[in-house]
């Protein structure tokens, strides 16, 4: 039997209308007020012809208006296609055409990005439009699609990941059963709402009746201030964000009100975790993706050093296994990470073949490589597409990066494979030095040789000013090669 429960924001506004819902530093709204704004916005969306089942693109920077727009689309029963504001016009239009979106709701400054025949309505235009009567979705059906996000996947064209109401619900519940649920919680959304890391905060907010603080774009100092002032109790970050926050934090320590730093986007370097431990920052490492509606595996802080580098165990409603050559792998044997649970997508939009390929018997094949230890803790080795195969040996860039990052002079590191006549591929590193430190490529290679099998040691090391990262600050390893100077063979 499909689960059907009341429309989340409507129910929340009925149950706890006075509780704080959203805050962006300029404006605050309770759930009652948020609902009222959403009603208005939904009636305006109906006025421009948005109907139940329509796919509507949202091209916005984090804001209360963006939160309201997504809820308003759900009030009508429309599907929100969340677009990355860093995409090129070509990429945006490709998604619009592929999805069959009928309209784009865009920030004023982003509207011009969409060079297409598709109607673009800016958020200011929308706010000035008349309202039209429309029947709201009084209930959410868990099998219905709520949102779509495109992911590049390992190869080929981007695919639209279908995220149902059920996926979002179960993700939120799985997280609550793991992290707990406190009356005064407020979750800082400094990651983009167009990524699942940010959107899932918005979903948790209405399901839990929890406040969220919406930050237009990540600002380490501002984030630290919010934590120091006790205004937020939980925050989602990736490694690069956390490093910046630690640098800004200096000698200060977070107050006890801050109870969870949810760290996603890949294995964290040991010195970072140790610095957090030192400062009493409760880091929860996590593993998840667009297809799992955010976290599916999370490590509690009591294990952050004893299970160093682990992403933890599955959330309560979920499961994982490692598969190698079609067989379950043994503990410590690396293979593909395969996951299952009610938070896992039902597939890709208009991609029947890709869906069948990715989801078999209810298990989602992530394309990522990892292993589990004898206690069932997951270690993510790498994204499959980043795997470097050198002389028949597998080299996982994250492993090499972790070693580089443990060097006192290294602030950031990225590793990728470059072609090599002898070995097929060899690892190549890109390093940003810490200010005040100086190190040579030879010294770093020596450092690596002491810690890694020979074939894993970078053959070339480039010093750079910054590494390519996406809007969530995740390292884009595939863009590293473009940093190689044409007239330089590396050191």
Q: How many Å is the maximal CA-CA distance in the chain?
A: 70
Q: Is 143 in the site for a second copy (CB under 8 A)?
A: yes
In angstroms, the CA 229 to CA 262 distance is 19
Q: Is 373 in the site for a second copy (CB under 8 A)?
A: no
Token output for 348: 């890709």
Contact at 8 Å (CB) between 43 and 179? no
Instruction: Kindly tell me the sign of the dihedral angle through the C-alpha atoms of 283, 288, 294, 299.
Output: negative
Q: Which of helix, strand or coil describes residue 473?
A: coil
In the complex with a second copy, the residue whose CB is nearer, 75 or 208, is: 208
Q: Can you give the length of the chain in residues?
A: 491
What element of type H or E holds 356? Answer: helix 352-358
Rule CB under 8 A: choose which of 177, 389, 476, 491 binds a second copy.
177
What element of type H or E holds 93? Answer: helix 89-99
Q: Is 55 in the site for a second copy (CB under 8 A)?
A: no
The site map against a second copy for 244-283 (x = CB under 8 A) is: ----------------------------------------
Rule CB under 8 A: choose which of 9, 12, 87, 309 binds a second copy.
12
Q: Is 6 in the site for a second copy (CB under 8 A)?
A: yes
How many angstroms from the chain centroid is the CA of residue 221? Answer: 21
| Residue the block writes with tokens 């704080």 | 20
Stretch that binds a second copy, among 82-90, 179-187, 243-251, 412-420 (CB under 8 A): 179-187
Q: Which of helix, strand or coil describes residue 74?
A: helix
Minimum CB distance to a second copy, residue 343 (Å): 10
Minimum CB distance to a second copy, residue 101 (Å): 26
Minimum CB distance to a second copy, residue 8 (Å): 8
Rule CB under 8 A: choose which of 66, 74, 121, 142 binds a second copy.
142
Rule CB under 8 A: choose which of 30, 132, 319, 425 binds a second copy.
319
In angstroms, the CA 175 to CA 179 distance is 6
For a second copy, the binding residues in 68-127 under the rule CB under 8 A are none
Stretch that binds a second copy, among 3-11, 321-329, 434-442, 447-455 (CB under 8 A): 3-11
Contact at 8 Å (CB) between 148 and 173? no
In the complex with a second copy, the residue whose CB is nearer, 317 or 424, is: 317
Q: Nearest to residue 327, comparing CAs of 335, 315, 318?
A: 335
The β-bridge relationship of strands 310-314 and 294-299 is antiparallel
In the complex with a second copy, the residue whose CB is nearer, 314 or 397, is: 314
In angstroms, the CA 261 to CA 16 distance is 26
In the complex with a second copy, the residue whose CB is nearer, 316 or 437, is: 316
Stretch that binds a second copy, among 10-18, 43-51, 349-357, 476-484 (CB under 8 A): 10-18
Contacts of 217 (CB under 8 A, 6+ apart): 61, 62, 190
Instruction: Kindly tell me the sign of the dihedral angle through the C-alpha atoms of 383, 196, 432, 312.
Output: negative
Binding footprint of a second copy, residue count (CB under 8 A): 32
In angstroms, the CA 464 to CA 320 distance is 37
The site map against a second copy for 195-224 (x = CB under 8 A) is: ------------xxx---------------
Rule CB under 8 A: choose which of 376, 389, 442, 449 binds a second copy.
376
Q: Is 183 in the site for a second copy (CB under 8 A)?
A: yes
Q: Is 30 in the site for a second copy (CB under 8 A)?
A: no
Contacts of 446 (CB under 8 A, 6+ apart): none
Q: Is 19 in the site for a second copy (CB under 8 A)?
A: no
Q: Is 15 in the site for a second copy (CB under 8 A)?
A: yes
The one-character DSSP state at 300 is -
Contacts of 40 (CB under 8 A, 6+ apart): 131
What element of type H or E holds 208? Answer: helix 196-208
In the complex with a second copy, the residue whose CB is nearer, 15 or 127, is: 15
The site map against a second copy for 337-366 (x = CB under 8 A) is: ----xx------------------------
**φ, ψ of residue 447 in degrees (nearest 5):** -55, -45
Q: Is 5 in the site for a second copy (CB under 8 A)?
A: yes
Rule CB under 8 A: choose which of 317, 424, 468, 490 binds a second copy.
317
In the complex with a second copy, the residue whose CB is nearer, 313 or 407, is: 313
Q: Which residues bind a second copy (CB under 8 A)?
A: 1-6, 11-12, 14-15, 142-143, 166, 173, 176-177, 180-183, 207-209, 313-314, 316-319, 341-342, 376
């Amino acid at each position: 039997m499909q689960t059907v429960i009341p429309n989340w924001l409507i129910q929340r506004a009925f149950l706890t209308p006075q509780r704080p819902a959203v805050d962006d530093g300029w404006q605050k709204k309770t759930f009652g007020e948020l609902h009222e704004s959403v009603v208005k916005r939904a009636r305006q969306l109906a006025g421009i012809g948005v109907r139940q089942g329509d796919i509507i693109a949202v091209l916005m920077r984090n804001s209360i208006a963006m939160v309201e727009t997504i809820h308003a689309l759900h009030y009508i029963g429309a599907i929100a296609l969340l677009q990355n504001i860093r995409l090129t016009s070509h990429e945006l239009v490709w998604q619009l055409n592929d999805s069959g979106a009928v309209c784009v709701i865009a920030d004023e400054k982003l509207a011009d990005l969409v060079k297409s025949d598709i109607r673009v309505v800016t958020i200011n235009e929308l706010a000035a439009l008349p309202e039209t009567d429309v029947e709201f979705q009084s209930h959410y059906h868990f099998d219905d699609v709520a949102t779509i996000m495109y992911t590049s996947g390992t190869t080929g064209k981007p695919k639209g990941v279908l995220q149902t109401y059920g996926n979002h619900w179960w993700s939120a519940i799985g997280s609550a059963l793991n992290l707990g649920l406190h009356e005064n919680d407020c979750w800082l959304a400094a990651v983009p709402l167009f990524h699942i890391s940010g959107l899932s905060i918005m979903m948790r907010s209405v399901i839990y009746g929890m406040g969220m603080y919406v930050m237009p774009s990540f600002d380490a100092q501002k984030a630290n201030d919010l934590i120091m002032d006790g205004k937020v109790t939980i925050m989602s970050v990736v490694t690069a964000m956390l490093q910046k926050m630690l640098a800004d934090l200096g000698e200060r320590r977070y107050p006890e009100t801050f109870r969870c730093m949810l760290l996603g986007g890949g294995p964290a370097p040991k010195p970072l975790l140790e610095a957090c431990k030192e400062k009493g920052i409760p880091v929860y490492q996590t593993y998840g993706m667009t297809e799992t509606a955010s976290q599916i595996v999370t490590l509690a802080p009591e294990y952050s050093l004893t299970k160093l580098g682990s992403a933890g165990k599955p959330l309560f409603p979920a499961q994982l296994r490692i598969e190698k050559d079609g067989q379950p792998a043994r503990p410590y044997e690396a293979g593909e990470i395969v996951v299952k649970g009610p938070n896992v997508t039902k597939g890709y939009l208009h991609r029947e073949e890709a869906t069948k390929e990715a989801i078999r018997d209810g298990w989602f094949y992530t394309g990522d490589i990892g292993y589990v230890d004898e206690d069932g803790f997951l270690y993510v080795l790498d994204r499959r597409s980043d795997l470097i195969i050198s002389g028949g040996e597998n080299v996982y860039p994250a492993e090499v990066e972790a070693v580089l990052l443990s060097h006192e002079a290294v602030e950031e590191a990225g590793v990728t494979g470059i072609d090599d006549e002898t070995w097929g591929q060899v690892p190549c590193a890109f390093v940003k030095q810490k200010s005040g430190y100086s190190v040579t490529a030879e010294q770093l290679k020596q450092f690596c040789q002491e810690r890694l099998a020979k074939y894993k040691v970078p053959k070339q090391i480039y010093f750079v000013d910054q590494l390519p990262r996406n809007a969530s600050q995740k390292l884009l390893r595939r863009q590293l090669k473009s940093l190689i100077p044409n007239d330089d063979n590396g050191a």
